[in-house]
Chain A
Amino acid sequence: MDMRLINYINWSLLTCMVLLYLLGIGNLYSASTTRLETGFMFSDFYQRQLVWGLCGIVCMLAAMSFDYRRLRNLAWPLFLVSIVLLLLVSVMGKTVYGARRWLSLGFMSIQPSEMTKLALLLLAARLLARDQRPLGWKDFLTVLGIGLAPCLLIVMQPDLGTAIMLLLLLGGMILYRGLHGHVLKFCLLAAPCAAAFMWIAGLRDYQRQRILTFLDPGNDPRGAGYHILQSRIAIGSGELWGKGFQGGTQSQLRFLPERHSDFAMAVFGEEWGFVGCVALITLFCFFLFSIFSTVIQAKDRFGSLLAVGVFFYFFWQIFINIGMVIGLMPVVGIPLPFISYGGSATLLNFTLLGIVLNVSMRRFMFKG
Chain B
Amino acid sequence: MEADSNNFMLGESQRQKGLRPWIKTYVETERHQPPRFGVFLLQGLVGLLFFVVVTRLWYLQIHRGAEFSRQAQENRLRYERIFAPRGRILDETGRVLADNRIAYGLSLLREDCHDIPATLAQISAFFRLPLPQIWDKYQQDRIKMKPYEPILMLTDIPFDQVARIASDIPDWPGLELVVRSKRSYPEKDLFAHILGYVAEVNEKEMAADLSLEMGDLAGKQGLELELEKQLRGRKGLYVVEVDAHARVLNKTLNQEPQSGREVRLSLNTALQQAAWDALGGEAGCIVVMEPDTGKLRALVTSPAYDNNLFAAGISKRDWEALRTSNRFPLQNRVIQSVYPPGSVWKLIMASLFLERGINPRETVHCAGEVKLGNQIFRCWKREGHGSMDMENAVIHSCDVYFYLMSERVGIDKIEAFAKDFGFGRPTGIDLPHEKSGLVPSRSWKKRQFGRGWAGGETYNVSIGQGYTLVTPLQIAVFVSALLNGGDLLKPQLLDNVPRESAGRVPAKAETLNFVANAMRKAVSGGTAHVVSRKDADMGGKTGTAQVVKLKMAAGDRRLRASEMEYAQRDHAWIATFGIKNGKSYVVVVMVEHGGGGSSVAGPVAAKIYDHLFDGSAKTKFAQRPLQNGQTN
Contact = CB atoms under 8 A, between A and B. Distances in A.
Interface residues of B, number: 57
Contacts of A235: 57, 60-61, 68
B497 interface: no
B210 interface: no
Contacts of A253: 75-76, 241-244, 249
Most buried by A among B2, B17, B28, B52: B28
Q: Is the interface of A mostly helix, strand, loop or mixed?
A: helix
Contact of A274 (B32, B45, B58, B76): B58
A301 B53 CA distance: 31
Contacts of B42: 176, 288, 292, 295, 308, 311
Nearest to B32: A301
A295 B65 contact: no
B10 interface: no
Given A250-B72, A254-B243, A273-B61, 8 more contacts: A37-B250, A67-B18, A73-B25, A239-B68, A253-B242, A277-B53, A281-B49, A282-B50
Interface in A67-91: 67, 69-70, 72-73
A67 B41 contact: no
A328 B48 CA distance: 14
B34 A304 contact: yes
Interface string A282-325: 10110011001001101111101000100100010011001100
Contacts, number: 181
Interface of B: 2, 5-6, 13, 16-19, 23-28, 31-35, 37-39, 41-43, 45-46, 49-50, 52-54, 56-58, 60-62, 64-69, 71-72, 75-76, 241-245, 247-250
A133 interface: yes
A233 B75 contact: yes
Contacts of A284: 49
Interface string A346-368: 00000000000000000001101
Interface residues of A, number: 67
A298 B75 CA distance: 52
A73 B38 CA distance: 25
A234 B72 CA distance: 7
B215 to A, nearest CB: 25
B25 A326 contact: no
B609 to A, nearest CB: 68
Task: For the complex of A and B, list the 3 residue pairs with the smallest distance between their C-beta atoms, beginning with the closest.
Answer: A236-B68, A239-B65, A176-B38
Contacts of A234: 72
B55 to A, nearest CB: 10
A323 to B, nearest CB: 8
Interface in A219-250: 230, 232-240, 249-250
A281 B69 contact: no
A2 B16 CA distance: 13
Nearest to B60: A236
A257 to B, nearest CB: 8
A76 B334 CA distance: 106
A281 B50 contact: yes
Given A240-B65, A253-B75, A278-B57, A70 B19 contact: yes
Interface string A153-184: 00000000000000000000001111000000
A281 B35 contact: no
Nearest to A328: B56
Contacts of A208: none
B52 A328 contact: yes
B26 A69 contact: yes
A301 B56 CA distance: 36
A8 interface: no
B50 A285 contact: yes
B28 A300 contact: yes
A108 interface: no
Contacts of A301: 28, 32
Contacts of B46: 285, 288-289, 292, 315
Contacts of A281: 49-50, 53-54, 57
Contacts of B58: 274
A36 interface: yes
A235 B37 CA distance: 36
A232 B26 CA distance: 50
